[in-house]
Amino acid sequence: MNGPNNNRGSARRTEPPRRVQDAAGQMRNTGPQGTFRGYVPQPTGNQRPVQYAVPPQNPGWNGRRGAAMSPVPPKPKKKRKTGLIIFLTILALAGIAAAVVTGVRISKETAERQRISDKVSPYNGLFCPGVYVDGIALGGMTPEQAMNSVKSQINQRDDAWKVQLVYNGSIVANINTDTMNMRVDENELNNMMNNAWLQGHNGSEAERYTQMETLETTPYVVYTARPSGDTGEIDRILESLKGQIDQPAQDATVVSFDPSRTYPFIFTTETTGLRLDIAPLKEQLYQMVSTMTSGTVEIKPEVLYPQVTEADLQQQYALLYSATTPISSKSNEDRNNNIRRCFEKITGYILQPGKQFSFNKIVGDRTVENGFYPAEEYINDEHVMGIGGGACQASTTVYQAAVCSGLQIVSRRPHSDAVSYTDYGKDATVYMGGKQIDLVFKNNTDGPIYITADVVPDGTSKKRLMTKVSFWGRSLGNVRYTLETETVEILPSLMDPVYVSDKDSASKAKDGYVVKSYRVTYIDGVEVNREMLFTDTYNPKPEKIYDPNR
């Protein structure tokens, strides 16, 4: 680079040195005025040497070859001049270097400022690249264009947003911005757009440049505030659905106990219930509102199951045991009607847990007024006519049903002689005279006992009848009870004959018996228990001989 005076210096024309012969015949270079470069002329005769002054330091000099030079000073001063020249040269070079460095620095700063300006200035009135609102790239947009784009997308988004509530495959409710009266908050939107604008527009050009570089690697991404609305509308919709869907489970129940039916119980069938828990639905819908997420929400209420089903009731109201005894073909209609009358009092009776069944109390007095008829009955070892004859066959059938249903027998008495309708040890007599004989048993189960009783055909002929008493209650499962007897002693008839005037009363002598009765428990057909109930003694009978003279 040239110094500040080079312009002036460069205007001076420097003649090239010429080769001439000096007085001694030597060839030398001459300067601009014909002087020899590096040559010092010598005086002749009385001539005094010429003195040359050192020319003043010229800033534009710089030791340039070919520039005008002063005459060479005398040799004694040569050393001093050389040091000064070196000093000046070094000084000039340092200045040049400083100027060069300064120039380079100034040039770099200028270039850097220009580079920053070239990157920043195009976006003085536009959003910077790397700025996103609701997924829209705002780079290169004016504030107005950006706001219009964001608002347009908000409107499209809001119009498209819809949540459908579906139940059992049908749409039961629609939720959208209209139903919820949802609006985007303008102040929040303006603040968000202002913050987005500041990205790359905040501070000096250098600061803005740094911000723009950051946006290139880490974009600024924000989303507009979701529209606010009345979430109470969601609450109201869900509460309404809950009211329509919720229903309790219904247990199966016993409608009636009808002894005339083969299966005497009528049940209502159980039904499942539904319960809609709206708390998680609210949370889900609130989330979809806050994020403006469209979709379908399926309503799935909780299924409520009944505690008692019809199958449960069928187990609870199962047949425990049906006892039958054949009615003799010699039994007349009045006797059969007396059995029916007893059963009319008994059938349909419900014996609650812990309660006792008394045959005499339930059937009542065997009188004409109570609907009974005269018929043959067995009293004091004699077959006699009495009101209510046949009641003992009814009580015997009830007794057998009670034993085989597992109930506790409290009181029971056998007949004094064999009866035609059952074996020794399996009968139960009753009497309503001065000294009552009653059949009593207790419901020792944890559920009610339902009793049905009737006179029915025996299955072989419509004319042949039998008694049938059934006990119903909680199923015994794999448990079964039987009434079994054992004759432990025979009592021979050693008495003298007895003469009777009634031909029909004549009979042969009969041995007596001692009989033990047992309730035997079986589980899955295997005997697990044998409970002795009673030891009955049937006394021997003498021979009865008909004597018309008696």
pLDDT tens string 3-52? 444 444 444 444 455 555 554 455 555 544 444 444 344 444 444 444 43
* 198-207, 243-252, 493-502: segment of lowest average pLDDT: 493-502
- Alpha carbon distance 512, 536 (integer Å): 11
pLDDT at 159: 83
Question: For position 519, what pLDDT does the model report?
Answer: 98
Neighbours of 224 (CB within 10 A): 19
| Geometric angle at alpha carbon 443, from 439 and 446, rounded to 5° | 175
Minimum mean pLDDT range among 62-66, 181-185, 209-213: 62-66
Q: What is the pLDDT of residue 229?
A: 66
Q: What's 138's DSSP letter?
A: -
| CA angle in degrees (0–180, nearest 5) for 452-458-460 | 155
Residue 42 lies in a domain: no
Give residue 410's identity as a one-letter amino acid code.
V
8 Å CB contact between 398 and 433: no
On whether both 304 and 377 belong to a single domain, the answer is: no
Q: Are residues 133 and 216 in the same domain?
A: yes
430 with 516, same domain: the answer is: yes
183: DSSP letter: B
Considering the domain architecture, whether residues 209 and 324 belong to the same structural domain is answered as: no
Q: 342 pLDDT exceeds 60?
A: yes
In a domain, 263, yes or no: yes
Q: pLDDT at position 88, please? A: 82
End-to-end distance of the chain based on CA atoms, in angstroms? Answer: 181
Assigned domain for 67 exists:
no
Mean pLDDT over residues 400-429, rounded?
Answer: 96
Contacts of 288 (CB under 8 A, 6+ apart): 163, 294, 295, 297
Query: Quick check: is 542 in a domain?
Result: yes
Give the pLDDT score at 228.
Answer: 65
Domain of 238?
124-316
Name the residue with tokens 């609305």: 229
Both 459 and 433 in one domain: the answer is yes
Q: Which residues contact 57 (CB under 8 A, 6 or more apart)?
A: 88
Residue 312 has pLDDT above 80, yes or no: yes
Interatomic CA distance for residues 443 and 446, integer angstroms = 8
Do 356 and 407 touch, CB atoms closer than 8 A? Answer: no
Show the DSSP H helices in 61-182 as ranges.
78-120, 143-160
pLDDT for the residue 2: 41
Q: Which of 316, 349, 384 corresponds to the end of one domain?
A: 316
Q: Are residues 356 and 486 in the same domain?
A: yes
Q: Are 411 and 282 contained in the same domain?
A: no
pLDDT at position 392 over 60: yes
Our count of domains for the chain comes to: 2
In a domain, 500, yes or no: yes
137, 248: one domain: yes
Q: How far is CA 134 from CA 90, 126, 149, 272, in A?
A: 67, 18, 10, 48
* 216 within a domain of the structure (yes/no): yes
Q: What is the pLDDT of residues 456-485, one digit of tens each?
A: 999 887 789 999 999 999 999 999 999 999
- Whether 191 and 256 map to the same domain: the answer is yes
141 within some domain: yes
When the pLDDT of each residue in the chain is averaged and rounded to a whole number, the result is: 85
**Amino acid found at 473:** G
In a domain, 511, yes or no: yes
- Whole-angstrom distance, CA of residue 41 vs CA of residue 11: 30
Mean pLDDT computed over 377-388: 73
349-365, pLDDT tens digit by residue?
999 999 999 999 999 99
- To which residue do tokens 């509308």 refer? 233
Cα–Cα nearest to 444, from 412, 478, 410, 396: 410
What whole-number distance in Å separates Cα of residue 412 and Cα of residue 393? 14
Q: What is the DSSP letter of 202?
A: S
Task: Name the DSSP class of 504.
Answer: G
- In the listed set 316, 347, 379, which residue is the last one of a domain according to the structure? 316
Q: Which of 290, 316, 342 is the last residue of a domain?
A: 316
- Beta bridge partners, 67, equal none
Check: CB of residue 431 under 8 Å from CB of residue 506. Answer: no
Per DSSP, the residues of 289-305 read HHTT--EEEE--PEEEP
Buried-exposed string 361-380: b where 16+ CB fall within 10 A, e elsewhere = eebbebeeeebbbebebbbe
pLDDT for the residue 21: 52
pLDDT (average), residues 70-76: 53
Q: Tell me how far apart the alpha carbons of residues 493 and 498 are, in angstroms, rounded to a whole number.
A: 12
Could you tell me the pLDDT band of residue 380, with boundaries at 50, 70 and 90?
low
Q: Give residue-wise pLDDT tens across range 120-156.
A: 999 999 999 999 998 999 999 999 999 999 989 888 8
Specify the DSSP element, H or E, that contains 395: helix 391-404
In the numeric block, which tokens belong to residue 402? 């009670």
Q: Which pLDDT score is estimated for 211? A: 94
Residues 6+ apart with CB under 8 A from 74: 40, 49, 51
- Check residue 172 and give its pLDDT: 93
Judged against a pLDDT cut of 50, whether residue 62 lies above it is answered with: no
Residue 57 CA to residue 234 CA, distance in Å, equals 97
pLDDT of residue 32: 46
CA gap 438, 412 in Å, rounded: 7
CA distance 344 to 358: 15
Which residue, chain included where needed, has tokens 């083969």? 262
Say how far apart CA 398 and CA 417 lie, in whole Å. 19
User: What average pLDDT does the segment 380-401 reach?
Assistant: 88
The position carrying tokens 């003799």 is 328
pLDDT at 77 over 70: no
Tens-place pLDDT, residues 495-541: 899 898 888 788 899 999 999 999 999 999 999 999 999 999 999 99
Asked if residue 435 and residue 333 are part of one domain, the reply reads yes
Q: Residue 85 has what pLDDT?
A: 79
Same domain for 247 and 322, yes or no, is no
Give the residues across from 173 on adjacent strands.
Answer: 165
Q: How far is CA 289 from each of CA 176, 190, 192, 227, rounded to the nearest angstrom? A: 9, 21, 20, 8
pLDDT digits (tens, 9 = 90+) for 156-167: 878 888 999 999
Residues 493 and 419 in one domain: yes
Residue 149 identity (one-letter amino acid): S
Judged on CB neighbours under 10 Å (0-12, 13-18, 19+), 516 is middle
Residues 320 and 471: beta-carbon distance below 8 Å: yes
